[in-house]
Amino acid sequence: MTEPRSAGLRWGILATGGIAHAFARDLRASGLDLIAVGSRSQASADAFAAEFDIPRAYGSYEQLVADPDVDIVYVSTPHPAHVDNATLALESGTHVLVEKPFTLNAAEAAGIRDLAAAKGLLAMEAMWTRYLPHMVRIREIIASGVLGDVRGVMADHTQKISDDPRHRLNAIELGGGALLDLGIYPVSFTWDVLGAPATVQASARFTETGVDAEVATVFTYPGGQIATTFSSSVAAGPNTATVLGTEARIDIDGVWYSPTSFRVVAPDGAVLESYASDVASRGMQYQAFAAERLVAEGDHGGDILPIDQTVAIMGTLDEIRRQIGLVYPGGR
């Protein structure tokens, strides 16, 4: 697959954890201009810069966003820090791509959206799945009407990660739990296909550290459609998804939220279309290409995942958290 060309933005990466490594690898492999990295320690920044041949390494986030040559920053810190880190970058006049979940709650997300609008900058959620080629094709198929009346969506995101209470996903103070790390993928997918739910029902099971280990949701919609999601950090499932229509369905193979294959299947079992991804990487570069395009076009609201939808999705997650009783430190 031919990837779009870079619009020439100069990227900085804020924080040096695992997801930052994945993003840097895909940026480097795709020829984007990665010029700086910032960490809370100079040693960490230096090591990251050496690994990815980044010319500028800063021992603080403040130094990173103060660099006048950095046009856009990828915020990859743990969830509770997103609002402060994104605010820091925006206040410096720098566009931001913020790792999902965008923030811990809708109020924080709205604050970032409003600040970006006031500054004339892009603030975009790094829900990279939305931008993958197979997801682009799935939206085209749904829009074509070949599925008939879309009646439902089913998706899981289930992994056996770690039962170590010190692991980030098990730490309540780091915004841990299945919902915000894993559940956000199928929840965002249901929004992508069906839009805003009319009703939300949620159930969960918690760990001894106070985070949600498993979350199930049922959404209903004004047209009577139903979406179901299940997420788990303690058990590995199929990680598949289905979009169900009256005339056909789309079966997305595991891992559905990464570059993968799918089929459009008629009610009699006939396969109307098969799609096989040829993306060799994780595919995080596609969201970066989209961010560069939006900046070039001056469309700071976004299109594939508009910032208003990001805020609204955080509102859905807030309601799920309210129903299951998940509260982060400080009442967030």
Q: Residue 100 corresponds to which amino acid?
A: K
Domain that holds residue 23: 10-129+284-301
- Residue 36, helix vs strand vs coil: strand
Same domain? For 187 and 259 the reply is yes
pLDDT for residue 131 is more than 80:
yes
More confident residue, 149 or 2: 149
Same domain? For 58 and 170 the reply is no
pLDDT for residue 188 is more than 50:
yes
- Residue 332, helix vs strand vs coil: coil
| Dmax (CA) of the chain | 61
**% pLDDT > 70, the chain:** 98
Same domain? For 218 and 252 the reply is yes
**CA pair distance 233, 177, nearest whole angstrom:** 7
Same domain? For 65 and 202 the reply is no
Of the candidates 324, 313, 323, which has an alpha carbon nearest to the alpha carbon of residue 197?
A: 313
**CA pair distance 135, 9, nearest whole angstrom:** 25
Q: What average pLDDT does the segment 272-296 reach?
A: 97
Banded model confidence at residue 124, pLDDT cuts 50, 70, 90 = very high
Same domain? For 170 and 260 the reply is yes
Give the per-residue pLDDT at 282: 96
- Total number of domains in the chain: 2
Same domain? For 104 and 212 the reply is no
Q: Residue 11 corresponds to which amino acid?
A: W
Same domain? For 25 and 99 the reply is yes
Banded model confidence at residue 284, pLDDT cuts 50, 70, 90 = very high
Give the per-residue pLDDT at 4: 43
What's the pTM value of the predicted model, to 2 decimals?
0.95
Same domain? For 122 and 213 the reply is no
**CA pair distance 131, 154, nearest whole angstrom:** 20
What is the bridge-based pairing of β-strands 249-252 and 262-265? antiparallel
Same domain? For 272 and 157 the reply is yes
pLDDT for residue 5 is more than 50:
no
Q: Is residue 269 part of a domain?
A: yes
